[in-house]
Amino acid sequence: MRYSGLSILRNALSGQKNWAPAWREPAPKPQYDVIIIGGGGHGLATAWYLARNHGITNVAVLERGYLGSGNSGRNTTIVRANYHIAGNEPFYAHSLKLWEGLEQDLNYNVMMSQRGVLNLCHSDGQFDFYARRGNAMRLHGEDAELLDREAVRAHAPFLNFRDERFPIRGGLLQPRGGTARHDAVVWGYARAADSRGVDLIQNCEVTGFRIENGRVRGVETTRGYIGAGKVGMAVAGRTSQVAQMAGLRLPIESQVLQAFVTEGLKPVLPGVITYGMGHFYISQSDKGGLVFGGDIDFYNSYAARGNLPMVEHVMEAGMAMMPMIGRARVLRSWGGIADMTMDGSPIIDRTPVDGLFLDGGWCYGGFKATPASGWAFAHLLATGESHETARAFRLDRFATGHVLDEEGTGAQPNRH
């Protein structure tokens, strides 16, 4: 069923009893052309673009829980394309363009809200760096505005401009950045992929790989063996665990990233704002809750929960940037598992096992990459060649030295 104003009216007149399920619940088949492990945004987007862009529909997406139950449901939903090195910016610029047409593409309201992303800076050196980053963005066709202190004050007058330790020097604004609704993105891709014949198999955990003569033949699951011509891994924070079942040791560490949401408030924020010195970022949801987060927890873990010292750190950073947040009541928090690479940039590439492909290492920025990640991973699975926007995301770059160190902090995952 195609969603439209007419379909809403027709179902309203029939007591809302005739809506079809958004996707099927098929049993797994013995063999597929492609199996994608991971029913989050990246895996589902890959399935959709495999079907739509390449006509490959004998595809199964295997999810150990329910669709979107991993990192897709545990993030702060920020969409942006404000990178400065050549290996990253074209990819995220492509992703933002896909975001802008995603609702029409999927026939699904993903609640894309382009209210802007403002990165604050607090020193002359940081201001100069933001000028270079903004120029790099504009060279790749993205929008960027460098704001001085008074322009930031006009944009967000509630910020703390009296902080002597980290005074606000200015900021870099990307007006086309913003937020989207994370579960709607998952449901939109799932529904669209299912409509092209992709099997979405929930509650189906992969427990091993069947590899013969260096080539993957299929996967062992809690619902039995499933054969495949190719297998793609898109499992976010579980990447290193799943890859280990295929005998792979990846340059990835998994660490927890916490986020928080307050009670619903009247509109107070003009868009997303990040506070670099405190590693704090905040936006406001369509329901009015302030959604914010901070740094990762600085220890390796696969637990989707965080520690109290980081909670205290995030609250202090929020109070330092915008003291008015102290009057809001925090309703809930959650932890997502960030798969941190050694240079802070992702991997979309083949693995040493023939027929086994990897989409991972998204650190804490995977949500904004969802459309381009699916596009590029589908291209790789279908053609065997890297998409032009993702050619730098090679697995062997850590061995050859062609790293993509956006932050310039070296091979220390928790610094990116």
Could you write out the three-class secondary structure of 114-147?
Answer: CCCEEEEECCHHHHHHHHHHHHHHHHCCCCCEEE
Average of per-residue pLDDT across 384-411: 91
Going by pLDDT thresholds of 50, 70 and 90, the confidence category of residue 371 is very high
Is the pLDDT score of 266 beyond 80?
Answer: yes
Nearest to 38 by CA among 174, 195, 235: 235
The side-by-side arrangement of strands in the sheet containing 117-121 is: 145-148, 170-174, 117-121, 272-275, 280-284, 289-300, 252-264, 330-341
Task: Give the global pTM.
Answer: 0.95
Separation between Cα atoms, residue 257 and residue 336, nearest integer Å: 5
What per-residue confidence (pLDDT) applies to 68? 92
Please indicate, yes or no, if residue 398 is contained in any of the structural domains: no
Please indicate, yes or no, if residue 266 is contained in any of the structural domains: yes
Q: What are phi and psi of 411, to 5 degrees?
A: -80, 60
Containing structural domain, residue 149: 114-177+253-341
Please indicate, yes or no, if residue 135 is contained in any of the structural domains: yes
Please indicate, yes or no, if residue 304 is contained in any of the structural domains: yes
Task: Look at strands 59-62 and 199-201 and give their pairing.
Answer: parallel
Please indicate, yes or no, if residue 66 is contained in any of the structural domains: no
What per-residue confidence (pLDDT) applies to 225? 98
Helix axis angle for 370-383 and 89-100, nearest 10°, is 110
Please indicate, yes or no, if residue 280 is contained in any of the structural domains: yes
Query: Is the Cβ–Cβ distance between 58 and 253 less than 8 Å?
Result: no
Give the type of residue at 193: A
Going by pLDDT thresholds of 50, 70 and 90, the confidence category of residue 279 is confident
CATH for 166: 3.30.9.10
Please indicate, yes or no, if residue 258 is contained in any of the structural domains: yes
Query: How many other C-beta atoms lie within 10 A of the C-beta of residue 247?
Result: 11
Helices (H) and strands (E) in the chain, counts: 11, 18
Please indicate, yes or no, if residue 301 is contained in any of the structural domains: yes
Three-class secondary structure of residue 36 per DSSP: strand
pLDDT tens by residue, 155-199:
999 999 998 888 999 999 999 999 999 999 999 999 999 999 999
Is the pLDDT score of 284 beyond 80?
Answer: yes
Going by pLDDT thresholds of 50, 70 and 90, the confidence category of residue 34 is very high
Residues sharing a CB contact under 8 Å with residue 225, sequence separation 6 or more, in sequence order:
210, 218, 219
Is the pLDDT score of 298 beyond 90?
Answer: no
Helix axis angle for 182-195 and 41-54, nearest 10°, is 30
Is the pLDDT score of 372 beyond 80?
Answer: yes
Indicate the number of domains in the chain.
1
What per-residue confidence (pLDDT) applies to 307? 87
What per-residue confidence (pLDDT) applies to 411? 78
